[in-house]
Amino acid sequence: MIIRRIAVLGTVALLWCVASFGAIASSRPEPGAMLRDWYFLMNELVRHTPTYSPPVASRSFAYLGVTVFESAVGGSDKLESLAGQLPGLTSVPAREAGARYDEAVIISAALSDAIVYYFGNTGPTGQRSIKNAKAKWHAAAIEGVPADVVTRSEAYGKAVADAIYKWSLDDGGAEVQNMGFPFELDLPKGEDKWVPTNVIRQQQYPLLPDWGSNRTFASPSGAACATPGNPTYSTEADSQFHKEAVEVYETVKAATPEQAEIARFWSDDPMLSMTPPGHWVSIALQVAEETNLPLDENVDLLARMGIAMSDAFVGCWHEKYVYNLLRPVTYIKREIDPKWEPILNTPPFPEYPSGHSVVSGAMDAVLTAFFGDNFAFEDKTGSPDGRNPRFFTSFSAAAEEAGISRLYGGIHFRAAIVDGLAQGRCIGAYAVALKTRK
């Protein structure tokens, strides 16, 4: 089990290989491997921090990605800073010229602070885990490193984390109240409009209605990569809208075991899983581990992924509150079969476009650009919850399956999936276009 390896990090630390490009060679953790272990822990925190709905999780992954990327830039002759490329990020602390640094210590120091910046609202168990992980991994990182190098490296890692955190504070997403649900909101009126789909009092207003106006990273704004809009609402039997509703209805009623398994594999419910952003991070971590990705490539990948997924959710949420479309469960119960129930829990916000599809399209764009077309992999993300690993022939195939899983699960119409994947790929292209290499 992936998460179990975190607990035995201290034992395996001595077996790790020499740092990939660090200035000091020793038997300490390889920085890329250490980085991945921090991310495994952060994925646990996404699941176990109640505010971490998918948009909120994606934002944290973006800032964490930029933090580790900028921490590593000064130690690599391959990487180029994102300062000046991302809105509001004009500069990042620089290293002392000619001074000696240790990459593992820098990463450890930067993430020790960043994890508190972005997961400081986690519960007591998360706080305890952070505290224990920081102590354990700090001890592993500084082993055998001269004291002056440790001091200098830690100060640098902290300075980068602090600079990125300060930059993050005015993007519109830093403060999330009531787990993202408004206390009051005027809901748009109309038979095509979203209405609450459950009897949870807190969720009678939709999640994060203003998220679409947050500052983006690589894409110009939440309005970039606009969708064509949902098919015109209609209850006429021959209308496209009704046909798509019937498709959802009949698919769920006749779902094959594999379709049901696919729906649950990509379910990624907040607070019960690492959410869709965390799922894609998990995929990246598995691939990075299997390919023994060196630190500079690892930070490049995590930064681009974080940026793309955060922009994807801003863009998706922008569109969701343009159209405010009702969910399949509402339409089907009203127009087709009042006793129908979807396989998955219907998320408490408007339907179009599909968030999982948008983020999956964006991740397809980034991962395919990074690893290439037809990169086959096995995704074991669902294993801790008892679901079987799934094999994919490419990241594109995985994204397509993630998208269609929402139709199998009965929570999205086809248009939201098709248009969502396209919107995500469009947004992901902006992250791919960032210049991270010299």
Partner 1 sequence: MRSSFAAICAMVLLVQPALAQVPVVPTYVDETASSGITTSYDGEWFFMVGGGVASFDCNDDGFADIALPGGTALAQLYVNRSSKGGSLTFQPQVSGLELDSVGGFYPADIDSDGITDLLVLRVGENEVMRGLGACMFERANEAWGFDGGDAWSAAAALTFERGASWPTIAIGNYIDREEEISPWGSCTDNWLHRPGATGQFAPPLPLTPSFCALSMLFTDWDKSGTPSLRVSNDREYYEGGQEQMWRILPGEAPKLLTPAEGWKVLRIWGMGIASTDLDRDGYPEYFLTSMADNKLQTLAAPTGPAPKADYKDVAFAKGVTAHRPYFGDDLRPSTAWHAQFEDVNNDGLADLFVAKGNVEKMPDFAMHDPNNLLLQAPDGTFVESGETAGIANNGISRGGALADFNMDGLLDLVVVNRNASAQVWRNTSSMAGKWIGLAVKKPAPNVDAIGGWIEVTHDGVTSRRELTVGGGHAGGQLGWVHFGLAAADKATIKVTWPDGTQSDFGDLAAGSFYRLERDKPAEAVTLRD
- Residue of 133, 161, 301, 314 that binds partner 1 (CB under 8 A): 133
Give, as ranges, the residues between 387 and 416 that touch partner 1 (CB under 8 A). none
Q: b/e per residue, 74-105, with b = 16+ CB within 10 A?
A: bbbeebbbbbeebeebeebbebeeeeebbbbb
CA distances from residue 119 to 44, 69, 136, 139, 268 in whole angstroms, order as listed: 11, 19, 18, 22, 19
CA distances from residue 319 to 79, 151, 227, 232, 323 in whole angstroms, order as listed: 34, 47, 7, 15, 6
Of 68-76, 194-202, 221-229, 412-420: span binding partner 1 (CB under 8 A)? 194-202
Using the rule CB under 8 A, is 51 a contact of partner 1? yes
Give me the least distance between CB of 140 and partner 1, in Å please: 12
Task: Convert residues 259-288 into a mask of x (bound to partner 1 by CB under 8 A) and - (unbound).
Answer: ------------xx----------------
Using the rule CB under 8 A, is 1 a contact of partner 1? yes
Using the rule CB under 8 A, is 138 a contact of partner 1? no
Between 25 and 200, name the residue whose CB sits nearer to partner 1. Answer: 200
Q: Which amino acid is at 32?
A: G
Using the rule CB under 8 A, is 237 a contact of partner 1? no
Cis omega (within 30 of 0) for bond into 93: no
3-state secondary structure string, 276-315? HHHHHHHHHHHHHHHCCCCHHHHHHHHHHHHHHHHHHHHH
Of 172-180, 211-219, 304-312, 396-404: span binding partner 1 (CB under 8 A)? 172-180
Between 141 and 218, name the residue whose CB sits nearer to partner 1. Answer: 141
241: tokens are: 């809208």
Of 43-51, 228-236, 284-292, 373-381: span binding partner 1 (CB under 8 A)? 43-51
Using the rule CB under 8 A, is 322 a contact of partner 1? no
Of 145-153, 197-205, 234-242, 322-330: span binding partner 1 (CB under 8 A)? 197-205
Between 57 and 307, name the residue whose CB sits nearer to partner 1. Answer: 57
Size of interface with partner 1, in residues (CB under 8 A): 38
- Residue of 44, 268, 296, 351 that binds partner 1 (CB under 8 A): 44
Of 68-76, 121-129, 140-148, 250-258: span binding partner 1 (CB under 8 A)? 121-129
Tell me the β-bridge partners of 273: 270
Q: Specify whether the CB–CB gap between 362 and 427 falls below 8 A.
A: yes
Give me the least distance between CB of 390 and partner 1, in Å please: 16
Using the rule CB under 8 A, is 147 a contact of partner 1? no
Between 176 and 316, name the residue whose CB sits nearer to partner 1. Answer: 176
Between 25 and 135, name the residue whose CB sits nearer to partner 1. Answer: 135
Using the rule CB under 8 A, is 201 a contact of partner 1? yes
Which residues touch 297 (CB under 8 Å, ≥6 apart)? none
Phi, psi of 317 (to 5 degrees): -70, -30
- Residue of 124, 237, 254, 438 that binds partner 1 (CB under 8 A): 124
Give me the least distance between CB of 194 and partner 1, in Å please: 18
Give me the least distance between CB of 219 and partner 1, in Å please: 28
Between 1 and 254, name the residue whose CB sits nearer to partner 1. Answer: 1
Q: Can you tell me the distance from the alpha carbon of 181 to that of 185, in angstroms, rounded to the nearest whole number?
A: 10
Using the rule CB under 8 A, is 139 a contact of partner 1? no
Q: Which amino acid is at 318?
A: H
> For residue 126, is it left (φ>0), alpha (ψ between -120 and 50) or beta?
alpha
Q: Specify whether the CB–CB gap between 395 and 363 falls below 8 A.
A: yes
First to last CA, the chain: 37
- Residue of 83, 100, 116, 121 that binds partner 1 (CB under 8 A): 121
Which residues touch 50 (CB under 8 Å, ≥6 apart)? 123, 179, 271
- Hunting for tokens 């999956």 — which residue is that? 360
- Residue of 14, 94, 169, 200 that binds partner 1 (CB under 8 A): 200
Phi, psi of 270 (to 5 degrees): -60, 140
Q: Specify whether the CB–CB gap between 49 and 119 falls below 8 A.
A: yes
Q: Which residues are at the interface with partner 1 (CB under 8 A)?
A: 1, 3-4, 6-7, 9, 41, 44, 47-51, 120-125, 128-129, 132-133, 136, 176-179, 183, 199-202, 271-272, 384-386
